[in-house]
Amino acid sequence: MKLYVANGTAQYQDFLYRMPEQPMPRMQRIGIGEQIQISGDLSRLEIDNIVNQHTRYGLVEEVEVDRTKPFVGMCYSIDKPVKLDSISQMVGHNREVLEDRGRVIRQESAIATSSVLETETPGLQALEMSVTEVMKDGSTPSISEGTRVTRRESANEAPPANKPCRRG
């Protein structure tokens, strides 16, 4: 049997695994958006062992790629290479997940900054924070957004739509 492992991240992956009854681990490098075949003709036990070593780190079966909501670093297929469409879908999905994470982190950072400034500046009612990526080559930035953090007087006031807010 053959085991194929595909990399859906934006960096090289050193796929490190142990074979049953062999003391030294093995390593194969997987390029960005590429896949490898684990060397050798493997038994089902060996494949299950390798897969079990990596499922805790996010390795999923190829058929699960489109059903997975969190970041999917790598996927695998048994006896046939991972389809190019699956790798492409995994890379696109991961990009969206990371962009969403970045947006949440920037909003939480604005809330934390507002909290610190509020202790230093009594009476602060609102903080607007903008983040803009500066490109060295002059091209259009991929990140340019702002966040407004306001202090609400009442816990019953509804926050503005799509704006992070902290209760006062």
Q: How far apart are CA 25 and CA 20, in angstroms?
A: 10
Q: Is the pLDDT of residue 49 over 60?
A: yes
Mean pLDDT of the chain: 83
Q: Does residue 114 contact residue 124 with C-beta atoms inside 8 Å?
A: yes
Q: How far apart are CA 26 and CA 48, in angstroms?
A: 16
- Tens digits of per-residue pLDDT, 115-155? 788 778 777 777 777 777 777 887 776 766 777 777 665 44
Amino acid residing at 121: T
DSSP run (H or E) holding 55:
helix 44-55
Identify the pLDDT of residue 25.
94
Q: Is the pLDDT of residue 65 over 90?
A: no
Q: Does residue 62 contact residue 77 with C-beta atoms inside 8 Å?
A: yes
Token pair belonging to 84: 């190019």
Regarding predicted confidence, which is higher, 27 or 140? 27
